[in-house]
Structure 1
């Protein structure tokens, strides 16, 4: 930047200040020579005006009007050339320039005006070369930073240093991932609201807006039409062409770095997906062997099963991206428009809080990820998917916390199925269908009623299900209908859900309506 003060220092006595008004520290737009009493039609503002004073009347009133006019037009200063008209600077000119706030300089004889103009252009060219060298240097630093072991953080640091402000990398939700200087994190966090607005507008939308005394620019980081995050910069002065070019370069480098990192994430995710597929198929031993062979994170001892959908592959990847941004080490597997997640114990509430749009979700209780429980995992998955198919969009069924009788019934029936003993499921279903009638349930199952009693006791003991509680039985029956429908079992609805209590000998007393509403198969 070439200023009037800098030009004066460069010329020394050939352009010396004689007034008391100092030049403003602002760019000098040019050096213009004019003897007109009103040179404004030929001036754009920001110039140094050179004159010999040939047409100026050295009286206070006209000189004051002249100086005021120049200041009002935005001139940086006035320089009087001595020799042709004046041999020294008239005191009245000094006085009116001081009063008007116009810097006054003198060009002594025999210094030509051309020398002043030539020096101005030399300084301007030198400043341009310096800006170019600085810009090229910053560009080289950005490219070098992109090859760092942590390219995103390195590019952000170089960009912040070049901007004389701060720079930040934000994830698609507007959360700050990296910021430099680190003390600017609170300021960068305030950009989150604007980032969320940009995300709603589309992946290619940029914005600029004021933030306190800073000017903030936000650019999206997108590759192949998919939003990967944002880069935000804050400057104390409006963006210069050099800084705008640096921001464009940094945005391209960051988008590439984030995409490359995401490619590595997808590769690692595909490995974890293979492990999850084995677990959900009940092949727990093979899953543990694959984890060891690929040096993946150790599998948790127990996990919740979460099934959500319908959603495509890209939407599933975005949901898994959200899990990783929230540091949720889930094991996900996508197939047939369903995303199946094994969520570590203690992380279920955070997964349930993720934005799922119009998708349904079913979450089960804890499942032990052991070889002995392999069949239970696969069975629970089938049951959870049947529940998901029966609920509406935007419905979230948390079987671990829901107090609803049907949800409790779903949880209990999944627990019963997870035992892997079909005869216990059949016994419970017959017992519920015949509303506690041992004889009719045993007849349907073609077994002795003592055998049925033994099986019902096993159901209650091993699955923790109270078949004698009317509320529990009602929810369990509805869940059994729902979960058994897709398995091809033809279930006859009940006329009522009330179950009689047994006497001291363990025999059952039938309700009056039991005889008329049901008959043995």
Structure 2
């Protein structure tokens, strides 16, 4: 039956009203509300699938529909049992970070396309939040703290809300060699440029960043550009990919790696590629490693960890009082007092090259073993 002007106008009104409904849903309920509203507008079903083929949200869809949506989103070579699916990328079309798959009652193909396209654009804003000046610093700090120390289920759920999917995460630690650098602001700007969730929080004189493993290469390149081209005195250490619930270790690894980056004047150091010391420690029998770490045991009793951290930074800065004190954010006299206390507790002398080497190996062994 041919289209008429009245029918075209009615269709346009339905699409316009639907777009308004989707926008209100995005403001009030975010991702779930968008998918729910879209399903109702289409009188069908809608499924949002992440880049790993995992369903994020599904409304009006049974198990078979969800399986078909995953196959359509990931382009798997299996038979799709439900016909007339429409697929819409969420994010950049050339590299979508999620896919919206919908099925509507027949006869409304153009309306389905228009409404689903709008929904995909809104999902890009809700499921993958950009940096927003209204985003409170406390929210980011709490999110990073949960990812580092929360239970696996809680951390996984929170990561999904911030647009990070998959089974593993990478923790990065960023430090600046100058206090003049607004480190947290810079880190947030770089994350925004890369269209990554703003999961960064300032902790003392450093910034902790949480990344998906697939984004580490882009993040490393951005740090390299900042350090070498833009002349920003920044260094970054990256822990090894770790599952949810085990990111606290990744945080320690990243701290070790950024210490090497500062000592060797390298923009980025990945813990997983720091093989020489690790191989040396693995070649040493376990009792010998335990004996190596033993002198540092009294430092572990320090409730706030200042002594161990001061030792690590002092060693990573090759014994430079000025550089180490700057990294720790304390006066040189304070650092000297701490090192003196460390020497008393451990029996090691920081004026001895041999003792400094033993202390550095012991600090490394605490992270690896």
Please give the TM-score of this superposition, normalised by the length of structure 1.
Answer: 0.35
The structure with the larger Rg is 1
The structure with the largest helix share of the pair is: 2
Please give the TM-score of this superposition, normalised by the length of structure 2.
Answer: 0.45
